[in-house]
Amino acid sequence: MPSETPPDPDRPATEPAPLPPLPDRLSTDPASPHHVAEVLEHPIGIRFNDRERSDVEEYCISEGWVKVAAGKTRDRKGQPLLIKLKGKVEPFYR
């Protein structure tokens, strides 16, 4: 009978893989050239003008803007109409 110690439930068996770096520009729309699926697999938060926003569809750090849906308005293809807001953009992993 081997004398193995049971695994510790508080310690994960393997260390999690490092998170990919956040790009300068990211979009949640899969048709966009700025859509990065590897990054979007993890929960991402956006701090815009020192306030956390959860309705951001696309952002650009270098140009200082985010795009958010304009209410429930849709375009002719069924996608939400987006408005661009300018300010300080800080993406982060939650």
pLDDT digits (tens, 9 = 90+) for 21-37: 999 999 999 999 999 99
Report if residue 72 sits inside a domain.
Answer: yes
Report if residue 54 sits inside a domain.
Answer: yes
Structure pTM? 0.75
State the total domains in the chain: 1
Q: What element of type H or E holds 33? A: none
Report if residue 13 sits inside a domain.
Answer: no
Dihedral of alpha carbons 86, 89, 93, 94, sign: negative
Distance in angstroms (rounded) separating the CA atoms of residues 70 and 59: 15
Q: In the prediction, which pLDDT does 20 show? A: 87
Report if residue 11 sits inside a domain.
Answer: no
Q: Dump strand ranges (E) for 1-94.
A: 25-27, 44-48, 51-53, 56-60, 65-74, 80-86, 89-93
Measure the CA dihedral 33/39/40/46, to 10°: -100
Report if residue 16 sits inside a domain.
Answer: no
Report if residue 12 sits inside a domain.
Answer: no
Range of the domain at 63: 25-93
